[in-house]
Amino acid sequence: MESLIDLDYNSEDLCIYLYLLNEIIKEKDFKPYFYINSTDKEQILEFLKDYEKKHKLDSEITKMIEKIETVKKIVFDQDYQEKELSKVTVKYPNNVKTVREILMEFERLYEYDIPFIRRYMIDNKVIPTSNWDFKNNKLIDNKIPEFKTVSFDIEVYCHKGPDPKKDPIIMASFSSKGHNVVVSTKKFDHDKLEYVKDEKELIKRIIEILKDYDIIYTYNGDNFDFPYLKKRAEVFGLELKLGKNDEKIKITKGGMNSKSYIPGRVHIDLYPIARRLLNLTKYRLENVTEALFDVKKVDVGHENIPKMWDKLDETLVEYSYQDAYYTQRIGEQFLPLEIMFSRVVNQSLYDINRMSSSQMVEYLLLKNSYNKGVIAPNRPSGKEYQKRIRSSYEGGYVKEPIKGIHEDIVSMDFLSLYPSIIMSHNLSPETIDCDCCNNEENEEEILGHKFCKKNIGIIPKTLMDLIDRRKSVKKILREKAKNNEFDEEYQILDYEQRSIKVLANSHYGYLAFPMARWYSRDCAEITTHLGRQYIQKTIEEAENFGFKVIYADTDGFYSKWANGEKLTKDELLEKTKTFLKTINDKLPGEMELEFEGYFKRGIFVTKKKYALIDENEKITVKGLEVVRRDWSNVSKNTQKSVLNALLKEGNVENAKKVIQDTIKELKDGKVNKEDLLIHTQLTKRIEDYKTTSPHVEVAKKIMKSGNRVNTGDVISYIITSGNKSISERAEPIETAKDYDTNYYIENQILPPVIRLMEALGITKDELKDSKKQITLHHFLK
């Protein structure tokens, strides 16, 4: 019983190494290949020989060819017809590039750009990380094996941005089950400390420790820890032979990002996963730790590290240790989901860790396509890609809300609207206007297109498989829940159904993703078009039934009972149930409208901006300034308190008081400086901005003071007093001499709360008038 955790092509042994938990299988038979749109073997060879002659090469190219054979396949790009073409197999993976570049001039090629080990995973059955019987090539069970996991983090002695040429690594921390250690080149008084005499010894020790583990977690290790460690190792003439079989670490650079790969182990960088899975305003390790565990990590600030090091301050050791400790905990939290993605998509954990959801969908489609004997469409050329990027289409429907406060609200939404539309209408790039159903009668046209009635397309088919699998997993989960069996298997299955949901929901985005092989703008457009039809029709039906729809966005709506009578909550929910049954009987099989929630009160401000409170006094805020990062805390806190007063207490007077109190605090200079900070992201390089804006001006000021600013950084600033433009008065917290009270009152406090009040019909003047008592029921609609 064994488990595949990684695989790599070994260029010394000239074969694929399948790294199992406790052994290595050498796969010598699998060879790289691609397809060419020609059945004439001789002509293909002739073309290669001509090339050799022309470039004065000894049969170097033809030697790369292992074999050329005729195969019968359905070619996706050629009207989905079965036809004969040639499969060109070459001897080694790096031959593919050479041979394909020559043959491209001869005929059209297919599947020539799939990395070799990914190709292996597409063509073979083995499911990564499962318990797999390699003798009989079949699954034993789905349990997650006992991996030895460790987290790893380094600290560097530097005053400015770390420079690997001169700034030494001073500490390395590790955390695993039962082993937490900070290896340091100085002696500190701390129970986790392990002392080594110099940096060279430290690097040796890092290698020694990491080589004990199957999975290594880092936070941004792809771009920082490993590349830095490698450069420092070079300084001492050391090699990072971290692989299972003493292979060297492979650091590859692609554009802005690099990847750090350790053969036979799995390096999991948690930073990209956190960005993908969590919805936060900042993604530094401390933000993620706080979001997941509600703990504030010890923070020392990078600029203080050298000082603390020189003074032998143990806080530095604690800081380094906590970095590793929380990295490990975040890793344990994310690993199961990554494992499930890896199993469902059938690609290695390392690759899955670095794939976007569109890429995962693509590899799932490649696998399904291979299993059906279909040759996948090619990725777009530069010109085609540009065309795709420019083309745009209409998206979801958003209904103008009935502004103001409403009570007894029921929300209903479609269960996976877009996936169910794609399935029920068979939307796929090869089913759109297919040849096989062209002359059939009674075919409905959608935006001038017809969809195949005979064969299920690859996109809907892949979706159906996912949905079916999810349904059966959820069925087992329900059974287990009934029997109170919340055991390990329950957790695994729960992660499985979650990963499937993510993949299913990514198919619509994939259709519109410009780099996609199975791109189809028309299918994407038709998906949203049908989505708009379904939601609008459903709103109509709901209103005919007796509901009043307050607001709707894309796949769901908020409504209340409008038939004059006042219903109790139970009566309202009963009506909802009856309505859902009626509507679901009319909808296609795959589609389902469901009850989402009951709210005792809600305030709707504009499209995409509203707040609701449920029976447990839980407030949900959407789109309002409270949930945006580019508003200061004073502003957000005030709006939050006002919302509280309105939704919880139903008290307009209290809301007014909150506003007046904050204004007083601002005028008295009692507001904390941090709470005045406005955070805005730099989304491009400073020189690329066409207009002046506060955050860009601040970025320039930061650069002038000698600090680095990168694209993607979040710039924080305070608006100081004066009479120049706002941009000119924006300052980083360190240099902000004061703050502009008037700006914060007029531009930060008032606009967000006035918008709330105006939704209730209270004017600015009424807000200022403290004599007139206003109660909420004046505004209930």
User: Could you give the dihedral angle defined by the CA atoms of residues 753, 758, 764 and 768, in that order, rounded to the nearest 10 degrees?
Assistant: -60
Footprint on residues 514-533 left by DNA (CB under 7 A): 514, 524, 528
* Interface with DNA, residue 569, by CB under 7 A: no
Which phi and psi angles does 74 have, rounded to 5°? -85, 125
Spatial distance between the Cα atoms of 252 and 260, rounded to a whole number of angstroms: 7
> Which residue's CB is nearer to DNA, number 169 or number 535?
535
In whole angstroms, the minimum distance from the beta carbon of 681 to DNA comes to 3
Give alpha helix (H) positions in 546-620.
569-586
CB of 536 to DNA, least distance (A): 12
605 is a contact residue toward DNA (CB under 7 A) = yes
Kindly give the pairing relationship between strand 619-622 and strand 678-681. Answer: unpaired
Does residue 751 belong to the site contacting DNA (CB under 7 A)? yes
Give the tokens for residue 234: 């070079």
In terms of Cα–Cα distance, which of 347, 384, 338 is closest to 365? 347
Cβ(707)–Cβ(732) below 8 Å: no
Of 191-199, 247-255, 341-349, 603-611, the window that binds DNA (rule: CB under 7 A) is: 603-611
Q: How many CA atoms lie within 13 A of 142 on its CB side?
A: 16
Site string for DNA, 678-697 (x = CB under 7 A): -xxxxxx---xxxxxxxxx-
Site for DNA in 609-638 (CB under 7 A): 609, 621-623, 627-630
What would the two tokens of residue 198 be? Answer: 């110099």
Stretch that binds DNA, among 2-10, 229-237, 396-404, 465-473 (CB under 7 A): 396-404
Of 1 and 686, CB closest to DNA = 686
Residue 642 touching DNA (CB under 7 A): no
Question: Considering the complex, what minimum distance in angstroms separates the CB of residue 277 from DNA?
Answer: 14
Segment lying near DNA (by CB under 7 A), choices 191-199, 303-311, 339-347, 508-516: 508-516
Q: Residue 144 corresponds to which amino acid?
A: I
Q: 338, 277 in Cβ contact below 8 A?
A: no
Using the rule CB under 7 A, is 287 a contact of DNA? Answer: no
Residue type, 527: T
Name which of 390 and 737 has its Cβ closer to DNA: 390
Output the smallest distance, CB 745 to DNA, in A. 12
Residue among 589, 596, 427, 457 nearest 524 (CA): 427
Query: How many residues interact with DNA (rule CB under 7 A)?
Result: 55
| Site stretch for DNA (CB under 7 A), options 18-26, 200-208, 435-443, 676-684 | 676-684
> Any idea what the Cα angle at residue 680 is, between residues 156 and 739, rounded to 5°?
100
Q: Find the binding residues for DNA in span 172-201 (CB under 7 A).
A: none
Interacting positions 411-450 with DNA (CB under 7 A): 413
The answer to whether 749 and 634 are in contact (CB under 8 A) is yes
Among 362, 555, 590, 740, binds DNA (CB under 7 A): 555
- Packing angle between helix 95-103 and helix 41-54, nearest 10 degrees? 100
396 lies in the site for DNA, by CB under 7 A: yes
606 lies in the site for DNA, by CB under 7 A: yes
- State in angstroms the smallest separation of the CB of 725 from DNA: 4
**Measured from the CB of residue 689, what is the shortest distance to DNA in angstroms?**
4
State in angstroms the smallest separation of the CB of 720 from DNA: 13
Q: What stretch of H or E contains 18? A: strand 15-20
For residues 3-32, which are near DNA according to CB under 7 A? none
Among 159, 569, 608, 667, binds DNA (CB under 7 A): 608
- Name the one range near DNA by CB under 7 A: 7-15, 98-106, 371-379, 604-612: 604-612
Q: List binders of DNA among 694-723 (CB under 7 A).
A: 694-696, 714
Q: How far is the CB of 160 from DNA (least distance, A)?
A: 25
Binding residue (CB under 7 A) for DNA from 257, 281, 707, 775: 281
- Largest Cα–Cα separation, the chain: 98
Q: How far is the CB of 662 from DNA (least distance, A)?
A: 17
Judged by CB under 7 A, which of 726, 732, 741, 761 binds DNA?
Answer: 726
Q: Which phi and psi (to 5°) does residue 466 adopt?
A: -65, -45
E strands, 656-742, in order: 678-681, 714-719, 730-731
Question: To the nearest whole angstrom, how small is the minimum distance from the Cβ of residue 537 to DNA?
Answer: 16
* Residue whose token pair is 């083309």: 391
Cα(245)–Cα(238) distance, integer angstroms: 17
Of 13 and 688, CB closest to DNA: 688
Least distance from C-beta 713 to DNA, angstroms?
10
Residue 464 as a binder of DNA (CB under 7 A): the answer is no
Grouping H, G, I as helix, E, B as strand and the rest as coil, residue 152 is strand
Per the structure block, which two tokens stand in for 231? 């450069």
The string of DSSP letters for 430-454 reads: TTBT-STTTT-SSPPPBTTB-B-SS
Q: Is 275 in the site for DNA (CB under 7 A)?
A: no
Task: Find the part of the chain contacting DNA (CB under 7 A) among 176-184, 572-580, 664-672, 747-755.
Answer: 747-755
Residues in the chain: 781
Find residue 410's DSSP bridge partners: 559, 598
SS (H, E, C) 346-404: CCCHHHHHCCCHHHHHHHHHHHHHHHCCEECCCCCCHHHHHHHHHCCCCCCCEECCCCE
Dihedral pair phi/psi, residue 280, rounded to 5°? -125, 165
Give the number of other Cβ atoms within 10 Å of residue 209's Cβ: 19
Q: Which is nearer to DNA, 305 or 361 (CB)?
A: 361
Q: Determine the interface stretch with DNA among 440-448, 451-459, 469-477, 673-681 (rule: CB under 7 A).
A: 673-681
Q: Which amino acid is at 600?
A: K
Beta strands (DSSP E) in 393-502 are: 398-399, 404-414
User: Which residue number, 714 or 745, has a Cβ lying nearer to DNA?
Assistant: 714
Beta strands 257-261 and 266-269: pairing type? unpaired
Tell the smallest beta-carbon distance from residue 398 to DNA (Å): 4
Least distance (Å) from DNA to the CB of residue 730?
A: 8
Specify the residue, 72 or 708, whose C-beta has the smaller distance to DNA. 708
Helix, strand, or coil (residue 536): helix
DSSP H or E stretch at residue 498 = helix 488-505
Nearest to 367 by CA among 267, 266, 465: 465
Pick one of 120, 157, 213, 513: the residue that binds DNA (CB under 7 A).
513
Determine which residue in the list 318, 553, 731, 740 makes contact with DNA, applying CB under 7 A: 553
Of 342-371, which residues contact DNA (CB under 7 A)?
A: 358
Nearest distance, CB of residue 120 and DNA, angstroms:
28
Choosing from 147, 370, 385, 393, the residue that interacts with DNA (CB under 7 A) is 393
| Category of 206 on φ-ψ map: left (φ > 0), alpha (ψ -120 to 50) or beta | alpha
- For DNA, which is the closer residue by CB, 317 or 756? 756
Min CB(629)–DNA separation in Å: 4
Task: State in angstroms the smallest separation of the CB of 399 from DNA.
Answer: 8
List, in order, residues 6 or more apart from 452 with CB less than 8 Å away: 426, 430, 431, 432, 434, 436, 437
Residue for token digits 């990380």?
129
CB of 489 to DNA, least distance (A): 31
Q: Report the nearest approach of DNA to the CB of residue 695 (Å).
A: 6
Cα 575 from Cα 569, distance rounded (Å)? 10
- Does residue 651 interact with DNA by CB under 7 A? no
Q: Which of 37, 131, 258, 747 binds DNA (CB under 7 A)?
A: 747
Do residues 388 and 380 lie in contact, with contact meaning Cβ atoms separated by under 8 Å? yes
Q: Contact between 727 and DNA (CB under 7 A)?
A: yes
Binding site for DNA (CB under 7 A): 281, 358, 392-398, 413, 509, 512-514, 524, 528, 553-556, 605-609, 621-623, 627-630, 679-684, 688-696, 714, 725-728, 747, 751, 755
